[in-house]
Amino acid sequence: MTERPTQLWGGRFSSGPSEALRRFSRSPERYFSLAPYDLQGSRAHVRELNRAGLIDDAELALITTAIDELTADVLTGATQPIEADEDVHTFLERELIERLGPLGGKVRAGRSRNDQAANDLRLYLRDQARTVAALLVGLIDALADQAERSLDLPVPGFTHLQPAQPVVFAHQLLAHAQPLVRDLARLRHWDERAGVSPLGAAALAGSTFSRSPETSAAELGYAGVAENSIDAVASRDVPLEFLFISSLAFVDLSRLCEEITMWASVQFGWIRLDDAWCTGSSIMPQKKNPDIAELARGRAGQVLGDLVGLMATVKSLPLAYNRDLIGDKHAVLDAVESFELALPALTGLVATFTPNAERMRADATKGFTLATEAADWLARRGVPFSEAHEVSGAMVRYCEERGIELHEIPESALAGIDERLTADVLPALTLEAALAAHDATGGTAPARVAEQLTRVRAAVAAFRTWIDAYDGPRF
């Protein structure tokens, strides 16, 4: 194939672009990955041209066949852009003209790279939202499976990274699953707002050949058409909101990664990571590093940076389209790539770690985590909580001076700490009693956590239905 220059503009110019301009203006290679979505938009667009009478039925059949063949060639890699292709739109128009002759040049009527770019990105993101959602579902499943095996396994819960109160490990794991469920909900709600077609907006004023944009929108899986043609090509709230959701999801993932890193440390010793999901050191033979958790934690900063960068780009742009907006593709491609790399690895890491039940149970009462139970016991017997708090604190002080835990206080010492303490407090100072006492909805009592787990699995099943129901241009 001859590499001849192709431009979608230039008639009013007396010379071609300088080499420096050409290099600066050309889309990065990764942007050409949107070609299948651009071709989907072209398929809907040529039907609109047919309805407007610009191409007849025979021409429509020829163009549609060429688009189908070009799509297949792009997906297999048989057809690649050349250096002279300024962007994905130039690449595909050049190919259609080479395959169809002048008929291929008719496809551009009534549209602009402005509405094409907006459409490509929406189609891509709506597809990828399902891919990301499916990956998040996989991680939630892994957390839920570990939780199901840990419904009765006590560990210390922390505030300020200090032992606070005992919880079951399942409750801690589901505390990481719950934000991911909300991230899935945000993706689904985002998709409703993103399901509006910009096709027919053309450069900014709308297309004179657009006769039934609602039909084109439906063909592409959209629920409706943009109300304002200027807004359709100028706004970038769809990728920005996707990036916000991605950033928040990576913040949630990063917090999980931080805890996995701590749990796997020798100092905690709560979990043993599977060898297949860890790496070692080039100098220290004994090391077993949680690299997956650390790499995923690092990706969070990268995705956050993409969000802030695009927001800074958009914040002062006049309407309608400006070339600054080309950066939207870099940001969302980066976010999607981060999900596709991090989530399968993190899911495997979570699914295969083994809890150290003996160590967890031993740690569950360290640091006087049962102190609140003593204060609550006194409060139930009519002692004002402000006083009960002081008595429980005195119990902690007694234990600290003797190097024991609360449940090890001898019965004979209770009255000496405070006359309101009796032997009846001792049954409340056990792990089983402490866990069972927190039995309100959302609490850490094993029965409540089991109910929470059931609800999480039901929510995930609903998201699977949403993922599978999408009928857009998937390849």
Confidence at residue 461, expressed as pLDDT on a 0 to 100 scale: 98
Radius of gyration of the chain (CA): 30
Confidence at residue 4, expressed as pLDDT on a 0 to 100 scale: 47
Euclidean distance between CA atoms 172 and 180, whole angstroms = 14
Task: Determine if the peptide bond prior to 177 is cis (ω within 30°).
Answer: no
Euclidean distance between CA atoms 83 and 254, whole angstroms = 39
Burial class (CB in 10 A: 0-12, 13-18, 19+), 199: buried
Confidence at residue 1, expressed as pLDDT on a 0 to 100 scale: 40
Over the chain (475 residues), the average pLDDT of each successive run of 10 is 59 85 94 98 97 97 98 97 96 97 96 97 97 98 98 97 97 98 98 97 95 94 97 97 98 98 97 96 94 97 97 96 95 98 98 98 96 98 98 97 94 96 96 97 97 98 96 80
DSSP 8-state symbol, 398: H
Residue burial 95-110, b: 16+ Cβ < 10 Å; e: rest: bbbbbbeeebebbbbb
Q: What is the largest CA-CA distance in the chain?
A: 102
How many Cβ atoms are within 10 Å of 183's Cβ, its own excluded?
22
Euclidean distance between CA atoms 219 and 227, whole angstroms = 18
DSSP 8-state symbol, 231: H
Over residues 75-119, the pLDDT tens digits come to 999 999 999 999 999 999 999 999 999 999 999 999 999 999 999
Confidence at residue 472, expressed as pLDDT on a 0 to 100 scale: 85
- Structural contact between residues 163 and 156, judged by C-beta atoms closer than 8 angstroms: yes
- Structural contact between residues 164 and 141, judged by C-beta atoms closer than 8 angstroms: no
**How does DSSP assign 17-67, residue by residue?**
PPHHHHHHHSPPGGGGGGHHHHHHHHHHHHHHHHHTTSS-HHHHHHHHHHH
Phi first, then psi: give them for residue 233, nearest 5 degrees.
-100, -15
Confidence at residue 391, expressed as pLDDT on a 0 to 100 scale: 98
Confidence at residue 13, expressed as pLDDT on a 0 to 100 scale: 84
Confidence at residue 3, expressed as pLDDT on a 0 to 100 scale: 45
Tell me how long the chain is. Answer: 475
Euclidean distance between CA atoms 57 and 63, whole angstroms = 10
Predicted TM-score (pTM) of this structure: 0.94
Q: Of the candidates 302, 379, 372, which has an alpha carbon nearest to the alpha carbon of residue 333? A: 302
Q: Of the candidates 8, 7, 27, 14, which has an alpha carbon nearest to the alpha carbon of residue 325? A: 27
- Structural contact between residues 418 and 367, judged by C-beta atoms closer than 8 angstroms: no
SS3 at position 224 = strand
Euclidean distance between CA atoms 216 and 204, whole angstroms = 18
Give the domains, in start order, of the chain with CATH numbers: 19-109 (1.10.275.10), 114-149+157-362+452-469 (1.20.200.10), 371-429 (1.10.40.30)
Q: Which residue has the tokens 């909900």?
A: 185
Q: Which residues contact 26 (CB under 8 A, 6 or more apart)?
A: 83, 85, 86, 87
Q: Which residue has the tokens 């070692």?
A: 280
Confidence at residue 2, expressed as pLDDT on a 0 to 100 scale: 41
Q: In this structure, what is the dihedral angle of CA atoms 393, 398, 399, 403, given to the nearest 10 degrees?
A: 140
What is the identity of the amino acid at 249? A
Indicate the average pLDDT of the chain: 96
DSSP 8-state symbol, 158: E
* Residues with catalytic roles: 160, 281
Confidence at residue 6, expressed as pLDDT on a 0 to 100 scale: 66
